[in-house]
Amino acid sequence: MTSGRDDAVKRHEPGAGGQPPGDKAFAGSRRQHAESMALHQSIIATSLDCIIIVDGDGRVVDFNPASELLFGYSRADAVGREIGSLIIPDKYRAAHHEGMSRYMSTGVSRVIGKRVELEALGNEGQLIPVELSLADVSVGDQRFFTAHIRDLTAAKAAQFEIERQRDALYQKEKLAALGSLLSGVAHELNNPLSIVLGQAMMLRDRISREGATLPISRDLTERALRIENAANRCARIVRTFLAMARQRKAERAYVAIGTIIGDAVDLLSYSLKTSDVAVDVRIDDDLPVTFADADLLHQVLVNLIVNARQALEEKGGPHRGITLGATHDSGSGVILLTIRDNGPGIPAGIRNRIFDPFFTTKPQDHGTGIGLAVSRGLIEAHNGSLELAEPQPAVGAEFVIRLPVTGRDIAEAAGDEIVTGSYAAAKRQATVLIVDDEPDLAELIADIAAGHGYKTLIAHSGHAAERLLAADRNEIEMILCDIRMPDGDGPGLYDWLSANRPALVHRIGFVTGDTLGPSAGRFLARSGCPVIEKPFTPDDIGAVLKALAGYAKSR
């Protein structure tokens, strides 16, 4: 006889299949559940996106490795903490708590089941751009929410870079269009400027020679000088715009820093005056020249003066001023330039960042953040330095430029071209052919050449010059020619000379206001001929004629 316990044991003994059918099903269910949980944990652990699970109270119950990497918390630190204080920035927390309360009571949510872009909070207080997808994964009476979070930092950076490059391309296209416009404007404006300037100088010289005894001579001389000075100022402004629009390599020569400072102030004089900003220029009398690119230094000074003016405009109030100084430190062999204003200054927190590319405190439409970075690069290319001086009482911001006084021997060793101003002796009574489509300008150049002792002929187009040269019996020894003309331009005449009068190819100089144009620039580089930019002075014409006459004599 067996006991009941034995009967129970017998009933639970393995049968032919090893286990009773009910126990088999239970064990299989537990195994499937364990495998499912393992798969679930594996998916969460290996997800590239952050997966954070919170309960109905908003406390973290799971925090995957991607979340640890992005937010800087370990899983142990995160689990159990309230999600709002963990990764939600202050500006979103009130809306988060309100939304949770509304959903728990009404089932209505503005974010569950949707994708939203916002900012999350890292463990060091940094804001992280993210994409959030929130889902309700409640089980029975237990409420759970899963947040899938994707880091958008790289995507935002790439988007910013694309937009920056698009803006840079747009700016480049605008500069190209501006360059084309300036090329035409310069050509049209430089012609009359050349006439005004040349005639004023010739008038002044003639009064000095022939009318010195007349009572009115001093008044006429002064009036001619005023016309000349005004024309020179207009010419400097045109040259400045052309220099700023050119895309070219540095062209160094011996330059006077005082002249560059004066040109920069002249260019900005109107905007400084309308902004009620006084300018005080202090330049040492014994300031030496140095070997540099005048246009690039001018660009740096203009940028620094404009920055100072804008800072003073923001400051407001009376007594706004900029002080420009230039001194020679003979001990260190440098020229010291200072640009100082009495504005609000530069905050201490950003002083070490102002030279960083694309860093700016100006509104989006008022600054690109590259001006100071480019300026420092231009000065360093001259083996100099551009620095922000230490703060001083009653001084807003002060920038200091140090430029080495480059000796002639150093410049020659570097292989840079030096403008010496020495020319071969002029061959008197040589005949010069003047080719220009502007009759008044052609007459002016002819008058200047005659004043230097040359005989002249005039042609008003390239084709007209070709006809004169074809009929000429070697009387014409030199040519001064405009580049842009209807009915045969300067390059066309040069090519005709190469084929028909090769001896004159090296005795032609060009007088032009179009060196900004790409075609003109390429032609001048190809030909290697001397060029005078309009507006010019009688000395400019005389110097080129001496050079051409000297070449002719040497041949």
User: How does DSSP assign 367-391, residue by residue?
Assistant: --S-HHHHHHHHHHHTT-EEEEPPP
From 119, 151, 183, the end of a domain falls on 151
Whether residues 378 and 482 share a domain: the answer is no
Dump pLDDT digits (tens) for 380-389.
888 889 898 8
Whether residues 448 and 405 share a domain: the answer is no
Strand 127-136 with 115-121, pairing:
antiparallel
For the ranges 153-162, 182-191, 526-535, the one whose mean pLDDT is highest: 153-162
Domain count, the chain: 3
Whether residues 446 and 498 share a domain: the answer is yes
Asked, for residue 266, whether it belongs to a domain, the answer is: yes
Asked, for residue 239, whether it belongs to a domain, the answer is: no
Whether residues 382 and 488 share a domain: the answer is no
Placement of tokens 């040069």 in the chain:
494
For 414, half-sphere exposure in the C-beta direction (CA atoms, 13 angstrom radius) is: 16
Asked if residues 314 and 343 have their Cβ atoms less than 8 Å apart, the reply is yes
| Domain containing residue 528 | 431-554
- The whole-angstrom separation of Cα 550 and Cα 552 is 5
From 361, 387, 416, the end of a domain falls on 416
Tokens for 449, please give them: 């050449």
Count the Cβ atoms, other than its own, within 10 Å of residue 193.
21
Residues paired with residue 385 on neighbouring β-strands, in sequence order = 402
Asked if residues 238 and 295 have their Cβ atoms less than 8 Å apart, the reply is no
- The whole-angstrom separation of Cα 486 and Cα 488 is 6
Placement of tokens 């502007």 in the chain:
438
Tokens for 540, please give them: 């400019």
- What is the pLDDT averaged over residues 438-449? 89
What pLDDT is recorded for position 452? 85
**What is the CATH number for 543?**
3.40.50.2300
Whether residues 264 and 146 share a domain: the answer is no
On average, the pLDDT of the chain sits at: 80
The confidence band for 7, taking pLDDT boundaries of 50, 70 and 90, is: very low
What pLDDT is recorded for position 407? 54
What pLDDT is recorded for position 362? 56
Asked, for residue 197, whether it belongs to a domain, the answer is: no
Asked, for residue 5, whether it belongs to a domain, the answer is: no
* CA dist list (Å): 449 to 482, 509, 540: 15, 13, 11
Whether residues 343 and 302 share a domain: the answer is yes
The confidence band for 16, taking pLDDT boundaries of 50, 70 and 90, is: very low
- The whole-angstrom separation of Cα 32 and Cα 396 is 74
Asked if residues 488 and 465 have their Cβ atoms less than 8 Å apart, the reply is yes
**What is the CATH number for 401?**
3.30.565.10
pLDDT exceeds 50 at position 423: no
What pLDDT is recorded for position 19? 56
What pLDDT is recorded for position 399? 92
- What is the pLDDT averaged over residues 211-221? 69
pLDDT exceeds 60 at position 3: no
The confidence band for 326, taking pLDDT boundaries of 50, 70 and 90, is: very high
The confidence band for 460, taking pLDDT boundaries of 50, 70 and 90, is: very high
What pLDDT is recorded for position 339? 92
Asked if residues 412 and 418 have their Cβ atoms less than 8 Å apart, the reply is yes
Whether residues 403 and 380 share a domain: the answer is yes
What pLDDT is recorded for position 322? 92
Asked, for residue 315, whether it belongs to a domain, the answer is: yes
Asked, for residue 25, whether it belongs to a domain, the answer is: no
What pLDDT is recorded for position 178? 64
3-state secondary structure 201-219: HHHHHHHHHHCCCCCCHHH
What pLDDT is recorded for position 63? 94
Four-CA torsion 297, 300, 303, 309, nearest 10 degrees: -80
Whether residues 378 and 470 share a domain: the answer is no
The confidence band for 199, taking pLDDT boundaries of 50, 70 and 90, is: confident
From 151, 170, 192, the end of a domain falls on 151
Dump pLDDT digits (tens) for 38-95.
777 888 888 889 999 999 899 999 999 999 999 999 999 999 999 999 999 999 999 9
Whether residues 334 and 405 share a domain: the answer is yes
- Specify the range with the lowest mean pLDDT, choosing from 36-40, 168-172, 425-429: 425-429
Tokens for 544, please give them: 């080129």
Whether residues 346 and 410 share a domain: the answer is yes
- The whole-angstrom separation of Cα 4 and Cα 11 is 10
Q: What 8-state DSSP symbol labels residue 507?
A: G
Dump pLDDT digits (tens) for 266-288.
888 888 888 889 999 999 888 88
Dump pLDDT digits (tens) for 340-367.
998 888 887 777 777 776 556 555 444 4
* CA dist list (Å): 461 to 430, 445, 487, 497: 21, 15, 6, 14
pTM of the model: 0.43
What pLDDT is recorded for position 233? 73
pLDDT exceeds 50 at position 168: yes
Asked, for residue 289, whether it belongs to a domain, the answer is: yes
Quick one: CA dihedral 401, 405, 409, 412, positive or negative? positive
Count the Cβ atoms, other than its own, within 10 Å of residue 120.
22
**What is the CATH number for 102?**
3.30.450.20
Question: 208 or 102: which carries more pLDDT confidence?
Answer: 102
Asked, for residue 237, whether it belongs to a domain, the answer is: no
Whether residues 93 and 116 share a domain: the answer is yes
Whether residues 532 and 462 share a domain: the answer is yes
